[in-house]
Amino acid sequence: MTQQQRAPEPYGDDWKTWGRRLMQHLGQVRSALVQQTGGESAADDGTIMWDRVNQYPVVSKNGEWRQIVLEDGHYDGVVSTDQTATSINTAYALTFTQTLASGIAAGTPASRLIVSEGGQFFVSFAAQIASSSASTLTFYFWFRINGVDVPHSTMENSLHSNNSTLAVSRSTILQLVANDYVELMWAVDSTSGTLQASAATAFAPANPAATLSIVRLHG
C-alpha cells in the first residue's frame, strides 16, 4: 500500500482536523458508483456512474455519457467438416461449433449468432477453399445481419486447377444492437468447390473448414 492509499492516522487531540483529513482521503480513494436516476450532467469529464436503465457503467466525456464496456461479447467457433454446395451461385449460411463465447450465442437456426448487448464488433473469419476441377471456380463470402446482406462485405476468391487449396480470410467491423444476429454466408459458382477440413496429423492439429471470431470493441 502506498502512502497515498493509506488512511491518515490520528495524531494528538485535534480530532476535528483528523476527521477532515479522513473525509478528504475517503473522497479520493472511495470508488462506489452513484446510481443514475436521469438528468445527471455530463459537463465534467471523468465522472463514473451506474446506468440503472441499461445496466452498465457510464463515464462522462465531452458533454455526454458513454458506456464503459464490460467483458460481455466475444465468440470463437469452427466448422470442422467439409462443406459442399448443392447448387451453384446459391447463398448458404455456415453453422459454427462454439469453442469459446460470452454474450454471444447461437440462435435458431444455429447459424444465427445473437449478441446480448449492442456496440461495434470486430469480426474475423477464415476458410480453406478447395477445388476438384481443372476449370476456374470462384467462392464468395459475406455477412448478413438479421437476414439482410451487409453492403460491401463480399470477398471473392478463385481457384484455377484441380486439387488446389487456399486459405482465405477477412476482417471487418459490424455495428449491432442488442439481440441482432449475424450470419456468415458463402456461395460458389461450381459444385466442384468445397470448404475443406483436414484431419489431425502426428505433428499438427486438425484444420477446420472455417473459423469465426467476434469481439465486442465498445458500446
- Domain regions of the chain by residue span: 15-67, 74-218
Cβ atoms of 33 and 44 within 8 Å: the answer is no
The residue type of 119 is G
Mean pLDDT computed over 29-47: 75
Omega before 109 within 30 of 0, i.e. cis: yes
Cβ atoms of 63 and 155 within 8 Å: the answer is no
pLDDT grade for 37, boundaries at 50, 70 and 90: confident
pLDDT at 72 exceeding the cut of 80 = no
| Separation between Cα atoms, residue 92 and residue 84, nearest integer Å | 10
Neighbours of 41 (CB within 10 A): 9
Q: Which pLDDT does position 65 carry in this prediction? A: 87
82-134 pLDDT per residue, tens: 999 999 999 999 999 999 999 999 999 999 999 998 999 999 999 999 999 99
For the whole model, what pTM was predicted?
0.74
Q: Which pLDDT does position 39 carry in this prediction? A: 76
**What kind of fold does domain 74-218 have according to CATH?**
Jelly Rolls (2.60.120)
Q: Report the candidate in 180, 185, 194, 175 with the shortest Cα–Cα distance to residue 212.
A: 185
3-class state of residue 88 by DSSP:
coil
The residue type of 213 is S
| Separation between Cα atoms, residue 145 and residue 94, nearest integer Å | 14
Cβ atoms of 193 and 129 within 8 Å: the answer is yes
pLDDT at 30 exceeding the cut of 70 = no
Which of 20-29, 62-71, 84-93 shows the lowest per-residue confidence on average (mean pLDDT)? 20-29
φ, ψ dihedrals at 217, nearest 5°: -85, -50
E strand spans, 5-154: 34-36, 48-51, 56-61, 64-67, 74-79, 83-84, 92-93, 97-102, 104-106, 113-115, 119-131, 137-145, 148-149
Which of 7-21, 137-151, 204-218 shows the lowest per-residue confidence on average (mean pLDDT)? 7-21
